[in-house]
Structure 1
């Protein structure tokens, strides 16, 4: 079927307009006016449908906002519920009584910060109890974790127990599909502190892996584009370079590949099979990206903490 016949079939043009177009020798492109009533009606229906659909989608969106909190990335402003310059416990306690699940979820996690004040901690514990039976699983899990910390049980699998008796963890555990808040918290000698805040590029903490002697931790982080990993020797208070980008630069130099570092510090690389070989050496596999993602090299990376030595070798896949 010719294009003109298709347009005519759906009512976009009529016979008179086709004849005028053919007569002009310029095909269908000369049509300018004689639009059929059927087309006008179709357009009107589409506009009405689009408007109605948009309204329905907006209604459904706001409905879901109230029932299922989904946060892709936590900003300083969103964690405060409103801009303030200091920790305001009353604000978070009041947020527990709202109908906004996102506010409730944020407030539950922030109330963990009452740990160092006995009266506030006991008050938060009391207010959090009902949320153990909340209809939303994310809120229930957050309440269980907060209560575990504030009651000083420290039985949650999200807590890493270290050799010096300290406990390391993140707040907002798995709040996003990508991971947890990119801040490490530590409780040592019965005091809670914000231990380390990673850069904005490493937006999420995916995993904390303690060394066999539990004196160091490997922290696996990611954005929605890249993977990152660093080692923190908690006992000595020392921090390694970010190892994925370090490996990408080192291996790129070995193979004479483009090793430019992006201004946003994304590496477009991934890592897997992370394991401690011993208390001093971490090993993992990485897919290192070059030239954007035009070239991807699969390698094995080892890093020795005491000597600050990195080895990067090509990973040979077994058949």
Structure 2
């Protein structure tokens, strides 16, 4: 009902009440009726306003529900709701003077990331020099590595020079009993970038082993329960399946052993004695676990990267 029609009907009802009151001689009640008329109109206006507002809100809600957000893929940056913080060398340079060995150690390693900024690189090189003789062997070794990279000397055994001209390495070398930081860095065409990191449960890089022709890179990673092996073709950007778990499943099938895959992807198995037999074939010894750790099988594994062929032989 339109507001004008509502007001007209209210007025007609109230006039009828007034007329009835006059015929009965109740003048005081007539005055109260006129007073009530104003209240009736006010209440009616409130009802109309409330109904209109509710209708508008309902319409807006329906419109919003019909336009749900469409997100194809959530990146880490998307979930931060803002651009990621740009690397800033200043806070790491300041940390060098903190007197806190842990902060100094982290800062020494992170300052390698100043590589792409000539001014920041020169400043880092100057500030890192005193730490070459630090009382902490770990800090001193990290400073030597950082200076080797930032000065572009590239003499460290932790640097792996590949056939495509790139250099692959990890930071925080051997910071844990289990290995090194779980990030491979690459310098190519004089630009430093994070190249690859390994999915959980891998937390550490234990070993990096280039093929003889420097085209492939075998990497052993670990958690505190398991070890994993993968091969990367650095130039093409391809990677092999995870070889320890693949060997465990293959050997389990051959020996009729249950080889269930855990939800956390831990395998309680280990790899040792990695060696390249040729430019394409990697060999290692595996200690494979079944029924958690109830059964341990020792095997010799070979994997041909190009053909994706694995052989697993028991070792007595």
The TM-score bracket by the shorter chain reads 0.7 to 0.9
**Aligned ranges 1:230-269 → 2 under 5 Å:** 230-269=230-269
Aligned counterparts of 2:106 and 2:86: Cα–Cα separation in 1: 16
Moved over 3 A (4+): none
Deviation at 1:235, TM superposition (A): 2.1
Aligned counterparts of 1:200 and 1:108: Cα–Cα separation in 2: 26
Aligned counterparts of 2:86 and 2:164: Cα–Cα separation in 1: 30
Aligned counterparts of 2:218 and 2:313: Cα–Cα separation in 1: 20
Partner of 2:206: 206
Aligned counterparts of 2:258 and 2:86: Cα–Cα separation in 1: 45
Partner of 1:146: 146
Aligned counterparts of 1:101 and 1:251: Cα–Cα separation in 2: 46
Partner of 1:279: 279
Q: Deviations 1:273-311 (Å, cap 9, x if unpaired)?
A: 211111111111101000000011111111111111111
The yes-or-no answer on 1:174 pairing with 2:174 is yes
Aligned counterparts of 1:260 and 1:102: Cα–Cα separation in 2: 40
Partner of 1:215: 215
Aligned counterparts of 2:278 and 2:133: Cα–Cα separation in 1: 42
Q: Which moved more, 1:97-106 or 1:256-265?
A: 256-265
Partner of 1:56: none
**Aligned ranges 1:283-294 → 2 under 5 Å:** 283-294=283-294
Deviation at 1:253, TM superposition (A): 1.6
Aligned counterparts of 2:135 and 2:295: Cα–Cα separation in 1: 47
Aligned counterparts of 1:203 and 1:151: Cα–Cα separation in 2: 29
Q: Which has the larger radius of gyration?
A: 2
Aligned counterparts of 1:184 and 1:299: Cα–Cα separation in 2: 29
Aligned counterparts of 2:139 and 2:306: Cα–Cα separation in 1: 42
Q: Secondary structure at the match of 1:110?
A: helix
Structure 1's unaligned 5+ residue stretches are 1-83
Deviation at 1:147, TM superposition (A): 0.2
Aligned counterparts of 1:209 and 1:305: Cα–Cα separation in 2: 14
Aligned counterparts of 2:274 and 2:146: Cα–Cα separation in 1: 29
Q: Deviations 1:56-113 (Å, cap 9, x if unpaired)?
A: xxxxxxxxxxxxxxxxxxxxxxxxxxxx833221111110110111000001100100
Structure 2's unaligned 5+ residue stretches are 1-83
Deviation at 1:259, TM superposition (A): 1.1
Aligned counterparts of 1:85 and 1:116: Cα–Cα separation in 2: 16
Q: CA RMSD in A?
A: 1.1
Partner of 1:117: 117
